[in-house]
Amino acid sequence: MKVSLNWLRQYLDLEDSAETIAQILTSGGIEVERIENLNKGFSKVVIGEITGLQKHPNAEKLQICKVNVGEEELVIVTGADNIRLDDRIPVALCGARLPEGLKIKPAKLRGVESFGMLCSEKELGIDSSAGTERSKGGILILPGKPPLGMDIGEYLGLNDWVIELELYPNRPDCLAMVNVARELGTLVRQKPKLPVWADLQGPSWEPAESPQILIENPELSWRYSALLVEDVCIEPSPVWMQNRLRAAGVRPINNIVDITNYCMLEMGQPLHAFDLDKLNGQIRVRTARQGEKLVSLDGVDRVLESGMLVIADDKGPVAIAGVMGGLDTEVTEGTTRVLFESAHFLGASVRRTSRRLGLRSESSNRFEKGVNPYGTVPTLGRVAELLKELKAGRVVGFTEKVCHLPQQLEVKLNLEKTSRVLGFEIKKEEMCDVLAALDFPYEEVQKNQFAVKIPSYRQDIKIEEDMIEEVARIIGYDQIPTTLPGGSLTQGHKNPAQLFRRKIRHLLVGLGINEVLTYSFVKKEQDFKWGKQSKSVSLLNPLREETGVMRTSLLPGLLEVAARNTARRNLDCLIFEIGHVYLAKDHPIKELPHEIAKIAGLAVGTTSRHWLNPQMEYDFYYVKGLLDTIAEHCAIRFRYQRTDDEKLRSLLHPGRSAEIFIGEVKAGFFGELHPLLEAEWGMERPVVFELDFDLLAGHSSENIIGRSYTRFPAIQRDLAVVVQDKVSAEEIKSRILQLGGELLHKVEIFDVYKGNQVPAGHKSLAFSLKYLSPERTLTDDEVSSLNIVILEAIQKEFGAEWRK
């Protein structure tokens, strides 16, 4: 927001410099980005009129001008070819200084003395809109009949400073000059002299019978007000208005358009002027239909999308609501009747439309940040006042449609709480002084308890803490005493969950596995395949299609990393990730999703790290060894079981995959990728695993159980049985350990066989049983007896046959 200091001084009696005012605003929480002097450094440049013009006798491209500068007539030689008799132009007198450092002196050009210089906008460092069409590329031709001899800086409003505010989204009210004046008046304890319409709530115009207003989407447009004006006279706006517009960075066009821009800058309410004779029938505030078109005021043919809010008549869209009007209904030199629109549109709708069309304007900037819904009619009152002052038209009627207006908000403000929050005592008189300076109506409902009514233009104040912040701003942040934080000091350290995560990370990195970090947003199809579709959280506005949902499994991200490496001929990939997955609690989503920590890994290709076998292939057994190593370091034991989950069996190799249990609780799964999926990812036999990291941490133990080596010898027995294919070797192994009791020290599977000697649908499992006692030497008889008990039990329970 560019704030003209001259304009601001219309509302406040300010003698301070621009730098001082900027400091006051900044200390009050309104950051100033920069300060600009509109006078780029020229002096002794006045308005002159060309009274004589003839060719130079000694130079074909030069002309000799007689210029009346008020008190005298000067002879000036110039090379400009765009000047005419009676033109009024800026003249740099002898002794003048220009922005480029040039000092004007009397000079003789080809034998003719010249006493000054005619200036272009470039030489003065000003906007070309200050001149007529003939000014382009040449001397600045001033429109109308400006006073001769008047300082050009004063005439064009260049003896002014512009303070550019860096406004944050919570202060959209300061996009209006009257509210900047209110803000500064509060900080300097001065009541601003505002336009009468700045505080009025209702009009007193005759109601207009037509056009009728229909709001089809009241959730996107709360209010639509319109002022009807006849006997419109299109001409340039007065110099003072043009100067203020240019200071704010807006190009003057004509009196009607300039009034809309001026009132928007002054009151903060965007306006639009329609040529009333070009509107057909009702005014409809509705969403666009897919494929509708509109040529906007910038001459671009816009294709509209469904959901974009537009202003339409009976024939179709005539404006993009809150963004820009249409070319077909613009105000032109032939316009005699005008409809001034002053409406309230939902900021989110305007922001969405502006972004989709790639079109931003001063209007959309204000609607996006939030516009006062009570400001539509007062702004039209200011329009009517300026129309009368400029004799630009006659107001003949007013019409509006109101769907919703929020109630005035009342906030409770407690003196003791304010003092406690700010950290120093605030007296009751100081509190009342702040509320009076803010000009917020208030009353003391209880002792030291105030009920404050928040004006509609201050949409950033919602709760008591917002009002406490206002008290701090107005009193001054520098009044808050500097104190050191209290409390006892504690030594920083990692919590158990962080220590466990670091332990597992260091373990896996030490085993030669690379850690990766993948996006929490993944492709919907892959996440539904590996995760839980019923718990999925879809993004309303994803950055791209490949990141449409929050992940419910880590594996799609790891597969993507491995596939990308494989495609670039990095064929050996051993990676893991520890991260969160996100599970929705219900649909539609009303609460934040549940976050669960997972650890996942992937191995594909061969390794050159193993010193025993440099070309060892990553396979099912290699990954199982990694998982056993993790379990060993966590002081837990994994139990592996063939999966009956149909979804998992479709993703993993049916014969080289398993579910992982800790006790009776499922902790995860691992296995080779299903052969049908290998072509999809472009990899051969990748092996993956995924574990519930929180479950792993909950069952792990830091306690180490030490046992001394026994001095008594162990006895080993081998046991081979034939069972059906569906019988799990892990189940038989677990049962053997239970039956062996304290004397059975260890059981290992050392052979799995299928062949001619084994019936179809069966397999041979060979176990090595190690018996050991820490107290005595075992005898062959007791070991043989225990072995027979074990054999008979598994024959009965599993239908096993002893293979001798």
* Structural domain spans, the chain: 2-38+160-194, 43-155, 213-402, 409-477, 496-699, 715-802
Distance CA 789, CA 140 (A): 114
> pLDDT class for 524, splitting at 50, 70, 90?
confident
Number of helices (H), then strands (E), belonging to the chain: the values are 22, 40
> pLDDT class for 60, splitting at 50, 70, 90?
confident
Task: Calculate the alpha carbon distances from 34 to 19, 26, 87 in Å.
Answer: 10, 11, 37
Where is the binding site, in residues?
460, 466, 469-470
- Are 246 and 129 contacting, i.e. CB atoms less than 8 angstroms apart? yes
- Cα-Cα-Cα-Cα torsion 102, 107, 111, 113, nearest 10 degrees, comes to 120
- pLDDT, averaged across the chain: 89
> In 10 A of CB 102, how many CB atoms?
13
Its pTM surpasses 0.85: no
**Per-residue pLDDT tens for 278-318?**
999 999 999 999 989 999 998 999 999 999 999 999 999 99
**Per-residue pLDDT tens for 3-37?**
999 999 999 998 889 999 999 999 888 999 999 88
Query: What's the confidence (pLDDT) of residue 613?
Result: 55
Distance CA 411, CA 462 (A): 7
Q: Over range 335-339, report the average pLDDT.
A: 94
Nearest to 244 by CA among 332, 183, 177: 177
Query: What's the confidence (pLDDT) of residue 200?
Result: 56
Could you name the CATH architecture of 715-802?
2-Layer Sandwich (3.30)
- In the predicted structure, residue 265 carries a pLDDT above the cut 60: yes
More confident residue, 196 or 525: 525
Where is the binding site for Mg(2+), in residues?
460, 466, 469-470
DSSP strand pairing (573-583 vs 514-515): parallel
CATH number of the domain located at residue range(s) 213-402 in this protein:
3.50.40.10
**Per-residue pLDDT tens for 161-197?**
999 999 888 889 999 999 999 999 999 999 998 877 7
Query: What's the confidence (pLDDT) of residue 616?
Result: 73
Nearest to 130 by CA among 246, 254, 261, 255: 246
Query: What's the confidence (pLDDT) of residue 615?
Result: 63
- Are 179 and 265 contacting, i.e. CB atoms less than 8 angstroms apart? no
213-402 and 409-477 in the same fold: no
User: What's the DSSP call for residue 407?
Assistant: P
Nearest to 203 by CA among 221, 227, 178, 233: 227
Q: Tell me the backbone φ, ψ of residue 99, rounded to 5 degrees.
A: -55, -30
Tokens coding 201:
């709530």
Distance CA 506, CA 578 (A): 12
Q: Over range 50-57, report the average pLDDT.
A: 90
Query: What's the confidence (pLDDT) of residue 461?
Result: 92
Query: What's the confidence (pLDDT) of residue 662?
Result: 92
Query: What's the confidence (pLDDT) of residue 365?
Result: 92
User: What is the percent of the chain where pLDDT is above 70?
Assistant: 97
Query: What's the confidence (pLDDT) of residue 11?
Result: 92
- In the predicted structure, residue 528 carries a pLDDT above the cut 60: yes
The packing angle between helices 780-798 and 729-740, to 10°, is 140
CATH topology of domain 496-699: BirA Bifunctional Protein; domain 2 (3.30.930)
- In the predicted structure, residue 487 carries a pLDDT above the cut 80: no
> pLDDT class for 690, splitting at 50, 70, 90?
very high
Q: Over range 586-614, report the average pLDDT.
A: 79
Query: What's the confidence (pLDDT) of residue 705?
Result: 66
Could you name the CATH architecture of 2-38+160-194?
2-Layer Sandwich (3.30)
Q: Over range 455-478, report the average pLDDT.
A: 91
Query: What's the confidence (pLDDT) of residue 664?
Result: 87
CATH topology of domain 43-155: OB fold (Dihydrolipoamide Acetyltransferase, E2P) (2.40.50)
More confident residue, 544 or 104: 104
Tokens coding 498:
């962080």
User: What is the percent of the chain where pLDDT is above 90?
Assistant: 55
Query: What's the confidence (pLDDT) of residue 586?
Result: 81
Class of 409-477 per CATH?
A: alpha beta
Q: Which amino acid is at 17?
A: S
Q: Over range 201-225, report the average pLDDT.
A: 85
